[in-house]
Structure 1
Amino acid sequence: MGAKSGLALKVLQWFNRGVEFCCCAVVLALYSYFLATLTNRNTNIPTWTRAVEGISGIGVLYTLLGLLLLCCLAGHPFTSFIAIILDVAFAGAFIYVAIQNRAGASSCTGTVDTPFGTGQATDMIDNKNPTYRQVCQMETACLAVSVVAILFFIFSAILEVVLVRHRRKEQRFGPSPANDYTSGYGKRRGIFGLFRRRKATDTAENPNVLPEHTHPDQMRSSYNTEATAVGHEPTTYNKYQHEGQPAFPESGTAVPHTQPAGYRY
């Protein structure tokens, strides 16, 4: 049970990192196109476009590294602590990216504001492709993936905490007889289920377990020896002692041949 839940958490975190990688890659690709076009046309490059390019580029490297190291470092306290800090930082960074691309929230008609300046949606930029509308639509895509990246970075930070807690439980409760000596922690049986021993019914399921020895209170009295049960006083029976007669008859006295009640040879 513990191994399956741990694998499910890793797969979920891998999915999160994959989505984050795709979001960062989209922003990086579009803003690389913006910067290349502005450079080729000898146009002034706004500082915020360089900042968005840098954020998306570092985000691609971080998420790619997270995808590669997730299998072997998932749940380690030190690496998870760093990942949580970076996830929160990237969530804040992509809030900045979303704000800078807020012009993409419009319908991209009429007068639009783009990294290439402000102009009519149908006009070409410097009489060349692309048009202002196309650039605005690219900003819309950047805005959309930025919002998605914010949500997934926050969710990844929360999932890192869950992975750390799950790893600690794995180290604390497994492997043990409660989970058939497999990795993970077994099912608890009540509050003190971890400290209970298996009952006799569990030993019947496992043919390799030896049966329990007989306890002293389970032993019955035997008539063949004077004292066999531990803790019992030895009892001596004298066949000459019965119903008021002396234990040992005097010499010359006949002893009637009678048997005490319940006595068997």
Structure 2
Amino acid sequence: FKGGALRLLQTALYFLCFCCAGAIVGIFSYFLAVLADHNLDIPTRWKAVEGLSGVMTLYTICTVLLTCCLAGIAFLSILGLIIDLLCMGSMIAIAVLTREGSNSCKNYVRTPLGNGPANNAIAYTQGSHHFAPHLGTACKLNKAVFSLSIAGAVFFLFTALMQLALMRHHKKEKRYGPSPSNDYTSGSAPARGLFVRKPRNVPAEDYVEKGVVPAAPVAGQTVRPSHDTAYSGNTAVGPN
């Protein structure tokens, strides 16, 4: 892979991470809005899921926009590697917090909006409310969050590995600057193909005849003989 292809691949991976984090923050924003609308207590762990996914969403927006321009720089790659590993840990933490999503959404369910039969609506206090979802729907949304968190952890692992690949490629490009071997372009010379024909060796006499290489001098002769006066203007005669 060349540098441009690596950057495009890294950008695509960050976009997938953004999709995972953005979907999680959207679903849990809905959960928190329902809990607040029904005057129910919001557990700290749901606030943690919302906060972690929100931070990862902002981070991935920045990486999608800047990766093509800044990828491979040593300091930024190391910083990105550390943040990617932290984001991977955050996705694993979200998967642990929403582990009820691994269960079936039939019969009795456990969701961020409460527990009970899947066809029951959320319990709420007296008064008018804007949201009244069924617990079965909340269970399916929680299952989606659980799946997205696992996928996001895998994607962030790949982006961390890509940071190392981009950093190594950037160092290689700097080490092999423009030179005759790569036609004075950036990067190292392309590898020779298996069936590429090597250039034929040209006899030295051919170069001498064309005037590229001087002829070997003869002992005792200080003037190169020339029998064509049109070019030299004189005719040199060798010693008897």
With the shorter chain as reference, the TM-score category is 0.7 to 0.9
Within the alignment, does 1:39 sit opposite 2:45 as a pair? no
- Describe how 1:44-59 pairs up with structure 2 within 5 A: 44-59=41-56
Within the alignment, does 1:153 sit opposite 2:147 as a pair? no
Please give the per-residue CA displacement for 1:229-256, whole angstroms capped at 9, x wherever unaligned. Answer: 9xxxxxxxxxxxxxxxxxxxxxxxxxxx
Specify every segment of 5 or more residues in structure 1 that has no aligned partner in the other structure, as ranges.
190-198, 203-209, 230-263
How does the TM-score come out when normalised to structure 2?
0.79
Q: Which residue of 2 aligns with 1:184?
A: 187
Q: Which residue of 1 aligns with 2:76?
A: 79
Q: Which residue of 2 aligns with 1:117?
A: 114
Within the alignment, does 1:175 sit opposite 2:178 as a pair? yes
- Distance, in Å, in 1 between the alignment partners of 2:29 and 2:211 is 74
Please give the per-residue CA displacement for 1:204-234, whole angstroms capped at 9, x wherever unaligned. Answer: xxxxxx98533xxx61537xxx3349xxxxx
Within the alignment, does 1:130 sit opposite 2:133 as a pair? yes
How does the TM-score come out when normalised to structure 1?
0.72
Q: Which residue of 1 aligns with 2:213?
A: 213
- Distance, in Å, in 2 between the alignment partners of 1:113 and 1:11 is 41
Report the residue type matching 1:130 in the other structure.
P
- Distance, in Å, in 2 between the alignment partners of 1:83 and 1:211 is 59
Report the residue type matching 2:41 in the other structure.
N
Report the residue type matching 1:144 in the other structure.
S
With CA pairs under 8 Å and 6+ residues apart, which has the higher RCO, 1 or 2? 2
- Distance, in Å, in 2 between the alignment partners of 1:37 and 1:108 is 19
Q: SS of 1:183's equivalent? A: coil
Q: CA deviation at 1:71?
A: 2.0
- Distance, in Å, in 2 between the alignment partners of 1:120 and 1:220 is 106
Cα distance change of structure 1 residues 166 and 151 upon mapping to structure 2, 3 Å threshold: same
Report the residue type matching 1:90 in the other structure.
C
Report the residue type matching 1:213 in the other structure.
V
Q: Which residue of 1 aligns with 2:104?
A: 107
CA contact 2:110–2:139 (8 Å) conserved in 1? yes
Structure 1 residue corresponding to 2:13, chosen from 12, 16, 41: 16
CA contact 2:120–2:134 (8 Å) conserved in 1? yes
Cα distance change of structure 1 residues 201 and 70 upon mapping to structure 2, 3 Å threshold: farther
- Distance, in Å, in 2 between the alignment partners of 1:49 and 1:201 is 75
Report the residue type matching 1:219 in the other structure.
A
- Distance, in Å, in 1 between the alignment partners of 2:59 and 2:96 is 22
CA contact 1:174–1:186 (8 Å) conserved in 2? no
Percent of aligned pairs with the same amino acid:
38
Q: CA deviation at 1:105?
A: 1.2
Report the residue type matching 1:17 in the other structure.
Y
- Describe how 1:2-13 pairs up with structure 2 within 5 A: 5-13=2-10
Please give the per-residue CA displacement for 1:150-173, whole angstroms capped at 9, x wherever unaligned. Answer: 001011011001101100111111
Q: CA deviation at 1:180?
A: 1.2
Cα distance change of structure 1 residues 145 and 201 upon mapping to structure 2, 3 Å threshold: farther
Q: SS of 2:96's equivalent? A: helix
RMSD: 2.5
- Distance, in Å, in 2 between the alignment partners of 1:120 and 1:34 is 18
Q: CA deviation at 1:126?
A: 2.2
Q: Which residue of 1 aligns with 2:89?
A: 92
Size of the alignment, in residue pairs? 206
Specify every segment of 5 or more residues in structure 2 that has no aligned partner in the other structure, as ranges.
125-130, 193-198, 203-209, 224-238
